[in-house]
């Protein structure tokens, strides 16, 4: 992701003032609001909180695409607000996926009215992805749970209760990301699917978010940027 993001940022006329990887985490303290406008953070769940906190405390706006650290996200947002910082988080930066999020909520509202339909989900990602289900799948699940009263929580357990939203998480080589929401009845199945063909869409969205975030204060996501 970092390589894709750098390529697109340069194409759009931005300057890359630094690169930090797992082999050079100590380089983070070289950057502050005087030499950096926005940091784009795509790392690992165990590192994201410290990175976002550092940026907030050092006047660097931060765009974060790391998933799997949501338990500490409220704490990070509090630090951002305390320091009048700027934090943009999304489980998925693809414009298409975020349109899919919007359609997913509308579909849940429609199928809520028809008790003959049950709903379930499936997500497929590359084998290098550490968290399961994906952050995108969790966002989709939350959109369903907010609008479909017959489900109370999501689960990976195939033998769950009828009130649980089942998510099947698969890991296969070289899959950027495929997410499917299925509404099933005894007579038919209706599916909504988003299939990513490459990671370029995610990287482009992250750079657009960084451009949008510069000069703002607060906590934001794709809904604000896209005007939903």
pLDDT at position 57? 97
One pLDDT digit (tens) per residue for the chain, 228 residues: 889 999 999 999 999 999 998 888 789 999 999 999 999 999 999 999 999 999 999 999 999 999 889 899 999 999 999 999 999 999 889 889 999 999 999 999 999 999 999 999 999 999 888 788 998 999 999 999 999 999 999 999 887 899 999 999 999 998 989 999 999 999 999 999 999 888 888 899 999 999 999 999 999 999 899 987
What is the per-residue pLDDT for 200? 84
pLDDT of residue 227: 87
> Which of 89, 125, 151, 194 is the catalytic position?
125
129 carries an active-site annotation: yes
- In the CATH scheme, what is the code of domain 2-93+200-226? 3.40.50.720
pLDDT value at residue 25: 77
Q: Which two tokens stand for residue 35?
A: 């030499």
pLDDT given at position 68: 86
Outline which parts of the chain fall under CATH 3.40.50.720.
2-93+200-226
pLDDT of residue 221: 95
Q: Tell me how long the chain is.
A: 228
Q: Look up 27 and say whether it is catalytic.
A: no
Query: Which of 14, 27, 57, 129 does the annotation list as catalytic?
Result: 129
The domain defined by 95-195 folds into: Dihydrodipicolinate Reductase; domain 2 (3.30.360)
CATH 3.30.360.10 intervals, the chain: 95-195
Q: For residue 159, what pLDDT is reported? A: 79
Q: What pLDDT does residue 120 have?
A: 97
pLDDT for 211 = 97
Model pLDDT, residue 36: 97
- For the record, the structure tokens of 188 come out as 């038919």
- Residue-level pLDDT at 26: 82
């Amino acid at each position: 992701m970092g390589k894709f993001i750098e390529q697109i940022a340069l194409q759009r006329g931005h300057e890359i003032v630094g690169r930090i990887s797992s082999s050079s985490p100590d380089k983070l303290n070289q950057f502050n609001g005087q030499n950096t406008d926005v940091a784009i953070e795509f790392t690992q769940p165990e590192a994201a909180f410290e990175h976002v906190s550092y940026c907030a405390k050092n006047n660097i706006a931060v765009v974060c695409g790391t998933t799997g650290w949501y338990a500490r996200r409220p704490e990070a947002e509090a630090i951002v607000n305390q320091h009048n910082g700027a934090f943009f988080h999304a489980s998925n930066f693809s414009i298409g996926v975020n349109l899919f999020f919007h359609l997913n909520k509308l579909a849940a509202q429609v199928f809520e009215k028809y008790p003959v339909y049950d709903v379930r989900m499936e997500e497929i990602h590359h084998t290098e992805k550490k968290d399961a289900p994906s952050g995108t799948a969790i966002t989709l699940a939350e959109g369903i749970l907010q609008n479909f009263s017959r489900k109370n929580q999501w689960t990976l357990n195939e033998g769950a209760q009828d009130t649980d939203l089942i998510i099947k998480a698969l890991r296969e080589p070289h899959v950027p990301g495929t997410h499917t929401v299925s509404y099933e009845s005894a007579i038919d199945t209706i599916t909504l699917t988003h299939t990513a063909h490459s990671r370029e869409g995610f990287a482009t969205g992250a750079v657009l978010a960084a451009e949008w975030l510069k000069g703002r204060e607060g906590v934001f996501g794709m809904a604000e940027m896209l005007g939903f």
